A and B are shown apart, each in its own frame.
Chain A
Amino acid sequence: MENFFFQMIIAATPLLLAAIGELVTERSGVLNLGVEGMMLMGAVSAFAVANSTGSSTLGIVAGAGAGLLMALIFCVIALSLLANQAATGLALTIFGIGASGLIGQGFVGVALEPLAKLSVPFLSDATMLGRILLGHDVMVYLALALAAGVAWFLYSTRGGLALRAVGDNHDSGHALGYNVIGIRYLATMFGGACAGLGGAYLSLAYTPMWAENMTAGRGWIALALVVFATWRPWRVVAGAYLFAAVTQLQFYGQDWGLPVASQFLAMAPYVATILALVIISRDVNLTKANAPACIGRPFRAER
């Protein structure tokens, strides 16, 4: 049981990173469905750099950078050229699956030293809670800090106010003198960098290796998490941990003697995502109150 919770925190981290980034993107009024592709590019870039330089720090930076560059492609096509955002995001995912496969072809089957675990002397080992909560690698805490930072930025700073304003009504934001497209570029690239970090976590720490399509739908689950969290940062954190617990079922279910074929346990995260979407979406007040009103709608300044 102790191990279950320890692993749950690890499994939640890539989801949390990708979802908190997409939350910022969506709050600015942009729907980027390319999270899966950005995560894959982050994963393969992080692995390639960490493997060839021996530095996991550089790997993490490369992962974030790759996600950011992917998001930049999205920005040019969907924000500057006003293309359909859903279609552009899908193209980003298709491109990311192909490009990561190409970059990663030399790294399949290569092992990597997993990201170092931190340890707090005495506390990490003394109690069960200490063993579960402490002694993770640095990115687990970075992800939580990032969520806290996003919550602070969105609700306590002028920049956050501008971002939310642009997402809720881009015409008014423009009339107030905000640079709508500029804000959306930044928010989308932040989202891309976070997705890249999430991917980097997968290939550097969660399973320290590269395999084609290793994200296995986590990018899409992150998108669903944002809806599930009704676009609130702290609910994204809670949602990510909840989902990670469900994901863990497939690894622990058979140990616990659940009389179910492994394939059905592997379905669990996806079925849980659908159920979560249904539960949240059926309450129109819950989604309408927080959903950015301009999400997915292109903006072009008339004057």
Chain B
Amino acid sequence: MILLDPRPQPSRALALLSPVIAIVLTLVAGGILMAAMGKDPVEALSIYFFQPFKEFWLWLTLPPGEAEMWLYTPSEVVVKAIPLALIGAGLAVCFRANVWNIGAAGQYTLGAITGGWIALSAPDGASGIWLVPYLAAGALGGMAWAAIPALLRVRFNANEILVSLMLTYVAAQLLDWLVRGPFKDPAGFGFPESKEFQDGFIMPVLVGGTRLHLGAVLAIVAAVALWLMMTRTMKGFQVRVIGAAPRAGAFAGFSQDRTIWFALLLSGGLAGLAGAVEVSATVQQLQPQISAEYGFVAIIVAFLGRLNPIGALFGALILAVSYIGGENAQIMLKLPKAVTGIFQGMLLFFLLACDTLIHYRIRLAAPGRA
């Protein structure tokens, strides 16, 4: 019989240790899964999780001339982490407010659509300055999509989880219609895709020989800004109070409705920005599939980062490693892509289970006696 004894104070050490324990448990469970699938667990896990770190280490330690070739995989990890970090930082704040925006995937898609609309309607020869209205439009698109669950929750008390989630399906259909209709490239041989964006709409690459782009700077700036907002400003304090104790917040004169609006618009705006950034940096056109699943994976990122915007940066890097590892495992081990999803789901399970230790001590007792 397992009993839980509440701790007088939540353990700060375990709050930071819990993600580490969860990752170790995920690796152990993943190894068992690999063995069950007839793969060598050590080899599979090293491809999945250790290869990017190993290559990063080689890049750090080898002399110039030999090091450069090892930069590519680590840089790809960062490229994957950019949209996850942008969305995850926003969701961290949103979840702190006890507002459950599950529809970041839809807000991401809308950001890609509104940004794409600017990019496709710009005059020929548009310069790099167009990137500013492009990204702003992406953020606004995401905010507009998130405004729907905010309005319906505040005005009609409709559950934001279900409304925001339903809107992801609507957004996906909207994008599908656009790339087969109004946004379709007339010279595209009938493929459902838009024209390629002009050079002015492509995120500038920061490091030659890689795809590492300006979005990395945006993600870090967003994370630090949100962290400062949460820890140093009245707004952040309101968000935390309303999230933890809405009644106490109400007595302090904080408006729950305004916090809901704030949390949804902020997380929606960042998801929209992530959509615009990702489309511009990777596929550079609108297509029916634009990796909107980042919106869901970013939920794990937010939890892994302890609902702290800066923590979300680290969470994003870890999830990005699992993505890149998954792609490598697909090629080298013929493992299906779905395995990545299993790893990500298991990680969140273990993380939530380990988080129990923050608030409770576990005690074993003989059955029947408490």
Residues of A in contact with B (beta carbons under 8 Å apart) = 33, 37, 73, 76-78, 80-84, 86-88, 90-92, 94-102, 105, 212, 216-217, 220-221, 223-224, 227, 261, 263-264, 266-267, 270-271, 273-274, 277-278, 281-282, 284, 287, 300-301, 303
Contacts and interface: CB of A to CB of B under 8 A. Distances in A.
Interface in B150-183: 152, 155-159, 161-163, 165-167, 169-170, 173-174, 176-177, 180-181
B342 interface: yes
A98 B342 contact: yes
Nearest to A104: B338
A97 B162 contact: no
A104 B274 CA distance: 31
Contacts of A82: 4, 356, 359-360
Contacts of B165: 217, 220
Interface stretch (B8-16, B213-221, B344-352): B344-352
B299 interface: yes
B162 A261 contact: no
A273 to B, nearest CB: 5
A101 B344 CA distance: 14
B133 interface: no
A48 B367 CA distance: 39
Nearest to A273: B166
A261 B181 contact: yes
A76 B352 CA distance: 11
A98 B340 contact: yes
B370 interface: yes
B348 A270 contact: no
B344 A98 contact: yes
A77 B148 CA distance: 32
Scoring B100, B155, B166, B339 by chain A CB atoms within 10 A of each residue's CB, the highest score goes to: B166
Contact of B348 (A94, A97, A223, A224): A94
A87 B177 contact: no
Given A80-B2, A263-B174, A274 B158 contact: yes
Contacts of B355: 83
Contacts of B177: 261, 263-264
A80 B2 CA distance: 9
Given A82-B4, A87-B303, A274-B163, A101 B158 contact: no
A224 B345 contact: no
Contacts of B344: 94-95, 98
Contacts of A282: 155-158
A-B pairs, 5 with minimum CB distance? A98-B341, A95-B345, A101-B338, A91-B348, A263-B177
B352 A263 contact: no
A83 B338 contact: no
Contact of A281 (B100, B156, B296): B156
Given A95-B342, A105-B338, A277 B353 contact: no
Interface in B327-370: 336-346, 348-349, 352-353, 355-356, 359-360, 370
- SS of B interface (majority): helix
B93 interface: no
B102 interface: yes
Overall SS of chain A's interface: helix
B265 interface: no
Nearest to B102: A90
Given A101-B336, A284-B157, A224 B352 contact: no
Interface of B: 2, 4, 6, 100, 102, 148, 152, 155-159, 161-163, 165-167, 169-170, 173-174, 176-177, 180-181, 296-297, 299-300, 303, 336-346, 348-349, 352-353, 355-356, 359-360, 370
Given A87-B299, A95-B346, 6 more contacts: A81-B356, A83-B353, A216-B169, A267-B170, A278-B152, A278-B156
B159 A91 contact: no
Contacts of B167: 270, 274
A81 B353 contact: yes
A270 B342 contact: no
A274 B162 CA distance: 8
A25 to B, nearest CB: 15
B170 to A, nearest CB: 5
B163 A277 contact: yes
A105 B336 CA distance: 8
Contacts of A277: 152, 158-159, 162-163
Contacts of B155: 282
Nearest to B356: A81
A84 B299 CA distance: 13
A83 B156 contact: no
Q: Which of B158, B159, B355 has the most CB of A within 10 A?
A: B158
Among A73, A76, A82, A94, max chain B CB count under 10 A is at A94
Contacts of A99: 338, 341-342, 345
Residue among A84, A216, A267 having the largest count of chain B Cβ atoms under 10 Å: A267
Contacts of A91: 300, 345, 348-349, 352
Contacts of A274: 148, 152, 158, 162-163, 166-167
A107 to B, nearest CB: 12
A240 to B, nearest CB: 16
A284 B176 CA distance: 37
B220 to A, nearest CB: 26
Contacts of A86: 100, 161
Contacts of B162: 220, 223-224, 227, 273-274, 277
A80 B173 CA distance: 40
A73 B349 CA distance: 9
A95 B176 contact: no
Which of B173, B180, B339 gathers the greatest number of chain A CB atoms within 10 Å?
B173
A96 to B, nearest CB: 7
A227 B159 contact: yes
A301 B348 CA distance: 26
A98 B300 CA distance: 14
* Residue among B4, B181, B343 with max Cβ neighbours from chain A (10 Å): B4
Contacts of B341: 94-95, 97-99, 101
A92 B352 CA distance: 11
A264 B345 contact: no
A102 B342 contact: yes
